[in-house]
Amino acid sequence: MLKIGLGTASRNSSYKNGVLAATRALEQCPDPDAALVIAGSGLEASEVFAGIKSVIAEVPLIGTSSYHETSNLGLVTGSVTVLLMRSEDIEFTVMSHPVTTPVKTAEKMACEYLAAHEGLSGSRVSCLLFGDQKHEKGADYLKGLDGAFPFPVPVSGGGSAGRLHPVDMSELTHGWQYATQGPTRDNLGLLFMKSSDVNTVFSYSFESSFTPVAPPVLCTRASGNIVFEVDGLSILDYLASCLGQDYLKLLGEADFKYQFITSLTDGSGDAGLVISPQKISAASEGVPFFPNVDMSGVTLQLVYMNREEMLQGSRRAAEKALEALDGANPEMVLVISCGLRYLLLLSRVSEEIDMVRSVFGPHVPIVGGYCAGEYGPLYSRYSEVTDRGKSMHGSRQLSCSISIMVIGSRAEKANGISQDYEKLLKRFEEFDSLGFRQSEYERLAVLEERLCSAEAALQSTERTLRNLNRAHFELGQELKSKNEALEQSNTRNEMLRSIIERYTPKNVFRKAWRSVDMGTYSIPDEEWRCVMMFLDIKGFTSFADCHDARSVIREISRIFSPIVDLIYSAGGDIDKFIGDCIFAVFENENAAIECGLEVQRMMKSALADSPFSLRIGINSGRVISGNVGNDTRMDNTLIGDAVNLAQRMEANCTPGCILITDQAFEAVDSAVAQKLNLTRKKIMVKGKSAEISVVEIVCS
Given its phi and psi angles, is residue 279 left (phi above 0), alpha (psi -120 to 50 degrees) or beta? left
pLDDT value of residue 265: 85
Return the higher-pLDDT residue of 90 and 481: 90
Return the higher-pLDDT residue of 162 and 654: 654
User: pLDDT tens digit string along 649-660?
Assistant: 999 999 999 999
pLDDT value of residue 320: 96
Confidence of residue 497 (pLDDT cuts 50, 70, 90): confident
User: pLDDT tens digit string along 504-547?
Assistant: 777 777 777 777 777 777 778 888 899 999 999 998 888 888 88
User: pLDDT tens digit string along 97-140?
Assistant: 999 899 999 999 999 999 998 778 889 999 999 998 776 778 89
Q: 293: which DSSP letter? A: -
Residue 461 in this model has a pLDDT that exceeds 70: no
Confidence of residue 168 (pLDDT cuts 50, 70, 90): very low
Helices (H), 165-299: 235-243, 247-250
Return the higher-pLDDT residue of 414 and 23: 23
Residue 63 in this model has a pLDDT that exceeds 80: yes
Residue 503 in this model has a pLDDT that exceeds 80: no
Rg over alpha carbons for the chain, rounded to the nearest Å, is: 42
pLDDT value of residue 437: 47
**Domain coordinates in residue numbering, the chain:** 2-209+306-437, 210-305, 438-503, 509-698
509-698: CATH class: alpha beta
d(CA 360, CA 325): 12
> Once rounded to an integer, what is the mean pLDDT over residues 426-441?
70
> For residue 590, what are the CA distances in angstroms to 103, 346, 511, 677?
81, 87, 25, 16
Task: For the chain, give the percent of residues with pLDDT over 90.
Answer: 54
Confidence of residue 466 (pLDDT cuts 50, 70, 90): low
pLDDT value of residue 469: 54
> Once rounded to an integer, what is the mean pLDDT over residues 60-86?
94
DSSP secondary structure string for all residues of 546-575: TS-HHHHHHHHHHHHHHHHHHHHHTT-EEE
User: pLDDT tens digit string along 551-610?
Assistant: 899 999 999 999 999 999 999 999 999 989 999 999 999 999 999 999 999 988 878 888
pTM of the model: 0.67
pLDDT value of residue 453: 65
Angle among Cα 607, 610, 616 to the nearest 5 degrees reads 75
pLDDT value of residue 172: 61
> For 67-100, b where at least 16 C-beta lie within 10 A, e where not — what string?
bbbbbbbbbbbbbbbbbbbbbebbbbbbbbbebe
pLDDT value of residue 468: 61
Dihedral of alpha carbons 657, 663, 668, 673, sign: positive
Angle between helices 440-502 and 235-243 (to 10 degrees): 100
User: pLDDT tens digit string along 264-296?
Assistant: 888 777 888 998 888 777 677 888 888 888 999
pLDDT value of residue 502: 77
User: pLDDT tens digit string along 632-676?
Assistant: 788 888 899 999 999 999 999 999 999 999 999 999 998 888 888
Q: With beta carbons less than 8 A apart as the criterion, state whether 34 and 180 touch.
A: no
Return the higher-pLDDT residue of 441 and 265: 265
DSSP secondary structure string for all residues of 509-521: HHHHHHHHHTT--
pLDDT value of residue 167: 45
pLDDT value of residue 616: 95
Residue 60 in this model has a pLDDT that exceeds 90: yes
User: pLDDT tens digit string along 179-197?
Assistant: 999 999 889 999 999 999 9
Q: 44: which DSSP letter? A: -
Return the higher-pLDDT residue of 55 and 344: 55
Length of the chain: 700
Return the higher-pLDDT residue of 327 and 253: 327
Confidence of residue 39 (pLDDT cuts 50, 70, 90): very high
Helix (H, G, I), strand (E, B) or coil at 674: coil
pLDDT value of residue 121: 82
> Once rounded to an integer, what is the mean pLDDT over residues 239-245?
82
pLDDT value of residue 435: 47
Return the higher-pLDDT residue of 496 and 28: 28
pLDDT value of residue 475: 64
pLDDT value of residue 378: 95
User: pLDDT tens digit string along 304-323?
Assistant: 888 889 999 999 999 999 99
Confidence of residue 450 (pLDDT cuts 50, 70, 90): low
pLDDT value of residue 169: 47
